[in-house]
Amino acid sequence: MDKTFNIDNFDKDRLSGPATWNQCDAIGKKFAKRKDGSLDWRRHKQIRACLYNELKQGNLNFDYASNLISTAKRLPKKYADKITGYLADNLEA
């Protein structure tokens, strides 16, 4: 059995539908890897939370999330800026 993910196996309704929690988690892990291959868990959780918030607001669809996982080299600036802004506004003194 071939269990390789293939985006072409999904219908158009699913592709335009909301992303999943697992996609948010996978994107967080992808962009939170350090140069030595270890994972920056704090960064992972920040990215995952940001993307999950976008998902809940209806701003992150399945197809876009899949493309981030498969082709993106860097976390898009709009998400990096949201995380930076959130941290700046919510750091305790």
41-54 tens-digit pLDDT: 999 999 999 999 99
Collect contacts of 82-91 with beta carbons under 8 A, ≥24 apart. 82/50, 83/46, 83/47, 83/50, 86/50, 87/46
User: What is the pLDDT at residue 18?
Assistant: 87
Q: What is the mean pLDDT of the chain?
A: 86
Residue 66 neighbours by CB distance under 10 Å: 19
DSSP per-residue codes, 50-80? HHHHHHHTT--BHHHHHHHHHT-SS--HHHH
What pLDDT score does 63 carry? 87
Domain limits, the chain? 16-90
pLDDT tens-digit readout, 10-39: 556 556 688 899 999 999 999 999 999 999
* Euclidean distance between CA atoms 90 and 78, whole angstroms: 18
Q: Give the global pTM.
A: 0.81
